[in-house]
């Protein structure tokens, strides 16, 4: 099989994985926002479910670290592509967002 076709297959999976990690980070941040708002909506103290908020932040940190690792993977694969002698753009469309993520619960802050 031609190197360029193999590289295209890898690139497609790379872009899908990057989009999935970004999507998970978006979902986690929206969950955090919703949890904080829910606490206010039911008028409970800040100490209520604080341990849950801490765990959520740990999860978001892990997702952020995964995103950083995917950036490193992307860069390494780009170098590998060049070492293989593939120097052209491969014309692969990067996914804009995962299905169902066209809308967000985030709102503008003034």
Looking at the predicted structure, is the pLDDT value of residue 6 above 70?
yes
Q: Is 102 helix (H, G, I), strand (E, B) or coil?
A: coil
* pLDDT at res. 38: 95
Average pLDDT over residues 65-75: 98
Positive or negative torsion for Cα 43, 49, 54, 56: negative
- The pTM assigned to this predicted structure is 0.76
User: What is the DSSP secondary structure assignment for residue 38, as one 8-state letter?
Assistant: H
- What does the angle CA 96 – CA 91 – CA 27 come to, to the nearest 5 degrees? 15
The total number of residues shown for the chain amounts to: 110
């Amino acid at each position: 099989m031609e190197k360029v076709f193999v590289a295209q297959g890898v690139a497609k999976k790379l872009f899908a994985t990057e989009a999935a990690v970004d999507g998970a980070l978006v979902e986690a941040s929206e969950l955090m926002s919703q949890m904080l708002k829910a606490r206010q909506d039911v008028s409970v103290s800040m100490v209520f479910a604080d341990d849950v908020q801490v765990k959520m932040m740990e999860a978001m940190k892990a997702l952020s670290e995964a995103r950083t690792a995917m950036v490193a993977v992307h860069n390494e694969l780009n170098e590998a592509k060049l070492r293989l002698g593939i120097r052209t753009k491969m014309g692969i469309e990067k996914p804009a967002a995962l299905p169902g993520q066209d809308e967000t619960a985030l709102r503008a802050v003034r």
